[in-house]
Amino acid sequence: MISDERYMRRALELAEFGRGKVSPNPMVGCVIVLEDKVIGEGYHQEYGNAHAEVNAINSVKNPDLLTDSTVYVTLEPCAHYGKTPPCAKLLVEKKVKKVIIAAFDTNPLVGGKGIQILKDAGIEVETGVLEKEARIQNKRFFTQIEKKRPYVILKWAQTQDGFVAREDYSSKWITNASSRRLVHKWRAEEDAIMVGKNTAKYDDPALNVRDWVGKNPLRLVIDSRLELPNTLKLFDEAVPTLCYNTQKSEVIGTLEFVKLNPEFRVNEILEDLYKRNIQSVIIEGGSYLLNKFLESELWDEARVFTSSNKFGSGIAAPIPPAPVSETIEILEDTLRIYHHV
SS (H, E, C) 148-191: CCCEEEEEEEECCCCEEECCCCCCCCCCCHHHHHHHHHHHHHCC
pLDDT at 195: 97
- Does the pLDDT value for residue 317 go beyond 80? yes
Residues annotated within a binding site for NADP(+): 157, 173, 199, 224
Residues annotated within a binding site: 51, 78, 87, 157, 171, 173, 187, 199, 203, 207, 210, 224, 284
Same domain, 209 and 110: no
Phi, psi of 119 (to 5 degrees): -65, -40
Same domain, 203 and 335: yes
C-alpha dist (Å) from residue 77 to 44, 54, 110? 12, 10, 8
Q: What share of the chain is helix, strand, coil (3-state, %, to 5)?
A: 30, 25, 45
Q: Name the residue range of residue 14's domain.
A: 4-141
Sign of the dihedral through C-alpha 223, 291, 254, 147: negative
Same domain, 184 and 330: yes
Domain closes at, from 141, 169, 187 = 141
Q: How many domains does the chain have?
A: 2
Same domain, 160 and 72: no
pLDDT at 208: 94
> 28-72 pLDDT, tens per residue?
999 999 999 999 999 999 999 999 999 999 999 999 999 999 999
Same domain, 284 and 179: yes
Same domain, 269 and 224: yes
Q: Which of 41, 53, 76, 190 is catalytic?
A: 53
Helices 266-275 and 287-296 meet at what angle, rounded to 10? 80
Quick check: is 53 catalytic?
A: yes
Same domain, 68 and 210: no
- Does the pLDDT value for residue 2 go beyond 70? no
> 167-186 pLDDT, tens per residue?
888 776 899 999 999 999 99
Q: Which of 256, 259, 211 is nearest to 234 (CA)?
A: 256
Average pLDDT over every residue of 275-302: 96
- Does the pLDDT value for residue 110 go beyond 90? no
pLDDT at 287: 94
pLDDT at 131: 98
> 185-225 pLDDT, tens per residue?
999 999 999 999 999 999 999 999 988 989 999 999 999 99
Same domain, 97 and 47: yes
> 111-169 pLDDT, tens per residue?
899 999 999 999 999 999 999 999 999 999 999 999 999 999 999 999 999 999 998 88
